[in-house]
Every structure is written in structure tokens, then in C-alpha cells.
Structure 1
Amino acid sequence: MRPLRSRARGLQLLTVALGLSLLGIFVPADADDPTPVPRRPPGPTRVMLAGDSITQGRAGDFTYRYWLWRGLRDAGADIDLVGPRQDLAQGSTSYLDPGFDRDHAALFGSKTAYHLLLVTDEIRTYRPDVVVLMIGFNDLRVRSPEETAANVRTYVERVRAADPEVDLVIGQVTTGMSLSSGVELLPNETSTLNALLAEVVDELTTSRSQVVLARTAEGWEPGIHTWDGVHPTPTGETRIAQRMGDALVDVGAVPAHPVIDRAVPWPATYAVSGVGRNRRITLSWDGTLVDGWAGRVRYRLVAPEAGPWRTTSWAAGSSRTLRHLRAGGTYELQVQARRRAMIGGWSAAVRVEAEGRVPRAVRRTTVVWRTKRLRVRWREAAAASTYTVAYRTRTRRGTWTAWRTTTRARSIARLAVPRRAARVQVRITGHNGYLAGRARTVRSVRPR
């Protein structure tokens, strides 16, 4: 456990005062220490990230915390993120990449009043060197910008009451927009609050406890940086992380500006399973792991022959049934994830056979000669969707020759047979996709 900085600073001041008193020099109790005193003892800089859903994130997010932690480490900073939580919204732990320091003090949907109740205990328990707070959009739905800014001011005061030497970074509130209509959400309130936050920062900064404004709203474009008009995409997360990293440099918590801001696709994918039955394949996936709200399927036939890729339209939910497939065919299928405007990757391919019933043999077959042509008639077979008709003659030495394929039940087909053929034999087979039923061979007849 690291000693509190306030205690270390007090001991150093006492030592200097005693030394000067021995020399006969009076030092007032509130005088500044004339010698440079390290603000932080050796060890990683402890940073507590507080806020609402923008900071906490939800299932299927990286979160800006992830990008900030990575960027600061790449820039050579020794950072320890601290706080009472490690989860995403609703207790989820489904980070797109959980390989980072996940401690934080944020809660999805929270407002400033919630954090005012907890901040004193959080500072005393987790002893951060720097507190990073990004909050306010939820407040603007129920209270004025002035009231929200006043709560942020109170938050800073309570942090300092618990530890007078904690530095703070206050993030601007990012603008929101309805992606369907393009109408901005609370534009005047957001602009007013950000102006008031700048005033709070200027007024509360002291030599012992700096307060720096992170300009997270500058260059923010909801159509690019959010997936629903409010919550950030991975690209938006990197933009917020960049602004927070720059502010941490300004406050002296890290040595160099990180390079974080960049375009990042949403790589979320679904884990997919499939079941085939009655010329159908039903795919299911668990969208809750990435908070996916919709999916589309692409599929192709791979056996017994290869076919082209086909892609369905988007549909909400966590399952999709493909109908009218070829029974007995094996299909390769993938599902693409989607969360509003954010489109993820294709899942790992699954192979599923479109099972079906094997047709029965055709019934009531008749073969007759009329007007020098052979006519064949039969009754439909259960489960058969197509029929193949083949024939053979004595002149063909018993080799079956394909005649025609038809989808008509009780069909009449005509065949011109060489007059020299002594007898003609006909075979009819019902098919359900790639599943063939038992062939029905009709007795031989003589051409007339």
C-alpha cells in the first residue's frame, strides 16, 4: 500500500520547518514549501475513471478505457487504473478484448448525483493520483446545465476534501444526434454545460490540485463516432481516449502525448449454430455477448455440388430460418453482427445439411403407345418435388438413357423411339432435392 501523499507532504514540511527554526528563522504555518517536493511517491500513477455509459461501456465494446490504457502504456506511462468495478453495463464481462486494466468507477445511466454519494469513499479507498470524470448528458435530460455544472463543482470539492492533492480531468459532454433524422439531441444544453465546465476548471485549479479540461467534444461527429447517436463506436472510443490522454499529459500524470485516435472497425462476431430439417436450416446465435441487435446470413451450397454465395436482408433477433433449400444438400453459412449503425464481422462458418424426407416410389404407372410415341403416366410420390424418367431399349443393350426431368405430378411424357427397338422399358424416380427415392421400373412395351 502506498502512503497517502498528504501525509508524506506534511512530514516533509515539518522537517523543513524544524530545520529552519534551529537556524532562528520563523516559518508561517501556511507557507509554501520552498524546496521541490515530489507530488507522488515512486510507483505507478493511479488513475480513477468515473462517469456514465460512455466510460463503462456495454457488452461487445472495447470502451475508451481500453484504448487509453493501451495508448498510455505505449507512450511509456506507468499507469494503474483503480476503482470499485471491472464490469460493463448490466454486469457483463464480454469485452471485445479483456486484456487490459479494467478497474473503473463508472455506471451506465448514472448522473452526477449518484457519483456525489460515492466519491468520498472511493477516494479514500482507492487513493487515486488523478480522477478523470466524464458525465453530464444524462443530467441534461432532467436538470439544467447550471445545476449539472454545480454538481460537478461539488464533486471536485468532495474529491479534495478526501485528498487535497488529487488532480482532476473533466471531460466535455459529447454532442448527441438522432441518426435516423439527423436532429441534434439537446444541442443548446450541451453547449451551455461545456462552457460552464470550462469555467469550473478555471476557477478550481490550484497549485496543489490541478483541474484540466479534456476537450472530448471538439471534432466530435455523432454520425461517425457513435452507433446510436450517443454511444461511441470503436473509432469514437479512440477519439475520447486521445483527448483524455492529452489532458493527463497537461496535468502532469504521464510523460508524453499518446497516439490513440484512429478509425477502428467493430470486429464483433456471433457464435452460430444451425439445425437442418424439412428443406430448412435454422441458425441461432447469442447476440447478448456483443449486444448485437440484428443479423444477416450469407450461405452457399458446398455438397454434393458447389453453388454461389447468397445473402439475406437484415433482420432483428437472434435466429433466422432459410427455407426451400435443396434437401440432402450441405450448406456453408455465416452470420454478420449488427448494432444499429455499427456492422460487425462475419461469424465462423458452420456447415449444416438441409435434411428432408426420402421420396417413396411412384405409383400407378402406365406406359402406352399412341400415334407412334410413348406416353408415360404416374401418380405423385410422397415428398417428391421432381421426377426423372429414363428408358432403355434392346438396341441400347440395356443402358439407361435419361429422358426428361419434370416437376409435374401425374404427368404425360412423350418419347420418339426408333422403330427397330423391339421393346422399351421405362424407369421413374422421385427426388426431393438431392435425395432420390426408390426407382419404379415399368414393364417393357413394344413400339407400334
Structure 2
Amino acid sequence: MRWGRTLGIGVGTALLLGATLVSSAPGTAKEPVRILLVGDSVTQGSAGDWTWRYRLWRHLVGSGVRVDLVGPRDDLLDNVTGEFGSHAYLDPAFDQDHAARWGMFFAGQDRPIGELVDEYHPDVVIEILGVNDLAWTDATPEGVTGDARQFVEDARAADPDVDVVLGALPQTWISGVERYDESLPVLAAELDTDASDVVTATAPGPFAEGVDTWDTAHLSASGEVKVAAGVADALAGLGIGSPYPRPLPDVPLGPRLPAQLSARAGDGEAELSWVSPPGATAAYVWLRDTTDGESWSRLPYPLPGPTWTAGDLVNGHAYEFRLQSEKGSVAAEDLYSNVVTVTPGPTP
């Protein structure tokens, strides 16, 4: 259902007011727009993330939309311990409800979509699934497209009026993803009806592995922005909110909380220990000999921590150390731990 239709706007008025009234329809409704987000790790996110869910929610609220994200979960995965139940969002001040889980497949959903629709009564279901089917099973792109079709049919069996957003997969470097993504607009056009709209959401490109992701699949901050933008644009096409602003905002990458560093001097060495920020998987060590007036230099490889001993230091010289945290392949941009100063010397 296009949300603008609920206003009963005449054609002449619509021509005069255009998308402004259509976009504001959910904001003036008596009830908030209920949105169910179904997906895998890309949608759930991990410790230390904002998540694209956060960025979408912020955008919709900023557009004047009364929105209620719904679903049985509100957590992240702690990517360091591998445990679910983390709430280490970089900014927890948003509606965290969702129905996503790391490792979820179309062919292996935690709960059938019909059951979720029946329980949570969403107005819109946003789905981004399929990459695990393509990467970890023998599923073909055509087979996954069939799964997406069945997903829509099952959602409609629970609520014939529910709208569905089919999310294209951003990891186009994974085999089969491009063919699957190309099938979605055709599928959406075929399934779209007056009562139940089906549209697609595609993250604006380019989408680069190792930049928009911190490994082969999972979103960095810039990837979150791009996925949220694609979904926001799709919702705007339904009359919910406005398109995501262009140009897309530049956002800093890597962990956005600093590590907490301490150090102990030894004979020709310094023993470092630290507490990493949520989600960080390693840290680069930076050091300089201030006695000799050296500039900062970074070790060529990240260290998993939480301890490391710097050797071959000159006794009596003052050394400064700091850390630059990293999540996967993405190091924090211009964000460092506290600086510690160590003066090695003979131990008693």
C-alpha cells in the first residue's frame, strides 16, 4: 500500500504538493509505521557498530516519520567472543528491535516470516537475506530468487496488505550475488500489487570490499550509510519518509572508541597492556623516542593484544606509545588511545 493513498489527496492537490505530502503521510498518521527488519549479520551488526538500522532510524525520524521498528531481538553479536546478546552499540539511542541474526539463510530462518508478521503486525517488511545461501550452500542465484518469492508469498499469507522491500546484496564480489541482485527488480515488478507493494533497495555504489566492509561481508561505517541510504530511498518510493540525502555523508571508519593503554618499564623494554574498545580485533602500536626527538612511527602489523612487549629500547630514553584500534581490516581513522610514557632501565 502506498502510504500517500491513505490521505485521500486529489490529483490536482497532489500535483501542487508533490512528494512533500506523500513523504509526510506516516508522520501525520495516528499510529507509527511498523517496520520489521529481517536479515543476517549485515542487519544485526556486531559490537562497536552503529548498524545500518541505526542510520535508517535516525534518517526516518529526522524526516518526520513516526516509526516503530519491531521484532524479537534487539542485540548485536560480540564478534570477539562470538556470543550473541551484546548491546555495545556505538550509539544505543535508537529503536533497536529487529529480526536478524548472524549466519541466517533464506533456507534457515530462525522464525518463519509468516509467524513474525502475524505476531508483530508490521506495515513494511524489509528483507536482506541470501548472501549466506550463496556463499555457504549449493544454492544458485535462481534458487535464492525463488526463496525471495516464497518469502513475499509467506508474508502476504499472514497479512495480504503488508508491503515488502527486497534488499539487494551489497557483497557483489561473492559468487552469484550480482545475478541474484539483477533478478530482484523483475521479481518485485511481478509481485507488486495495489494492496501489497513490493520494491527493491540497492545500496548506492561503488561498494568496495575492505572499505565499505571490515572483512569479506560485514559493514564498516561507510557501508552502513550506503545500505541505509538504499533502504531509505526504497521507503521513500512507498511514501515513507524522504530519500537519503546526497551526497552521502563522509563518516570515519574503524572503531570509534579509543583503547585504554598502560605500560610498565623494564630493562631495555616496555610491557604494554590495553583494554580494547567493543568490536576491535587488533591494534597498531605507534611509538617514538622523545629523547632523540623522533616522530611517531607505526609498527607494520596489528597486534591482537591485550599485551605486547617492546624490546631493543635504550635505557634512560623516554618513549611514548599509543594504539590505533582496528576492526577486521579497517583501522580507526585519526583516533588513538591515551599516550603513555616509559623510560626503560635496569630492574632491581
| Same fold, judged at TM 0.5 (above) | yes
Q: Which runs of no fewer than 5 residues in structure 2 stay unpaired?
A: 1-5, 7-24, 78-82
Deviation of 1:212 (Å): 0.8
Decide whether the 8 Å contact of 1:274 with 1:350 is kept in 2: no
Select between 331-340 and 164-173 the one with higher mean Cα deviation: 331-340
CA RMSD of aligned residues (A): 2.7
Deviation of 1:217 (Å): 6.5
Instruction: Name the residue aligned to 2:108.
Output: 114
Instruction: Name the residue aligned to 2:186.
Output: 199
Counterpart of 1:316 in 2: which secondary structure?
coil
Deviation of 1:358 (Å): 6.3
Cα 1:72–1:306 change in 2 (3 A) is farther
In structure 2, how many angstroms separate the alpha carbons of the residues matched to 1:315 and 1:192?
36
Counterpart of 2:230 in 1: which secondary structure?
helix
Superposition pairs for residues 317-336 of structure 1, below 5 Å?
317-318=304-305, 319-327=307-315, 331-336=319-324
Instruction: Name the residue aligned to 1:436.
Output: none
1:275 aligned residue (255, 258, 264): 264
Decide whether the 8 Å contact of 1:239 with 1:262 is kept in 2: no
Decide whether the 8 Å contact of 1:298 with 1:309 is kept in 2: no
Instruction: Name the residue aligned to 1:78.
Output: 66
Superposition pairs for residues 360-439 of structure 1, below 5 Å?
none
Instruction: Return the structure number with greater strand share.
Output: 1
2:236 aligned residue (235, 249, 259): 249
Identity %, equivalent residues: 33
TM-score normalised over the length of structure 1 = 0.63
Decide whether the 8 Å contact of 1:276 with 1:352 is kept in 2: no
Paired residue type of 1:195: E
In structure 2, how many angstroms separate the alpha carbons of the residues matched to 1:121 and 1:64?
24
Select between 265-274 and 237-246 the one with higher mean Cα deviation: 265-274
1:230-256 deviation per Cα after TM superposition (whole angstroms, max 9, x unaligned): 3222111111111100101112232x2
Cα 1:245–1:316 change in 2 (3 A) is same
In structure 2, how many angstroms separate the alpha carbons of the residues matched to 1:101 and 1:190?
30
Q: Which runs of no fewer than 5 residues in structure 1 stay unpaired?
A: 1-8, 10-37, 178-184, 360-448
Decide whether the 8 Å contact of 1:275 with 1:281 is kept in 2: yes
Deviation of 1:74 (Å): 1.8
Decide whether the 8 Å contact of 1:325 with 1:354 is kept in 2: no
In structure 1, how many angstroms separate the alpha carbons of the residues matched to 2:88 and 2:259?
12
1:60 aligned residue (45, 48, 54): 48
1:162 aligned residue (158, 161, 182): 158
Select between 201-210 and 326-335 the one with higher mean Cα deviation: 326-335
1:315 aligned residue (302, 307, 322): 302
Aligned length: 310
In structure 1, how many angstroms separate the alpha carbons of the residues matched to 2:98 and 2:260?
29
TM-score normalised over the length of structure 2 = 0.79
In structure 2, how many angstroms separate the alpha carbons of the residues matched to 1:199 and 1:222?
26
In structure 1, how many angstroms separate the alpha carbons of the residues matched to 2:106 and 2:61?
30
Paired residue type of 2:50: F
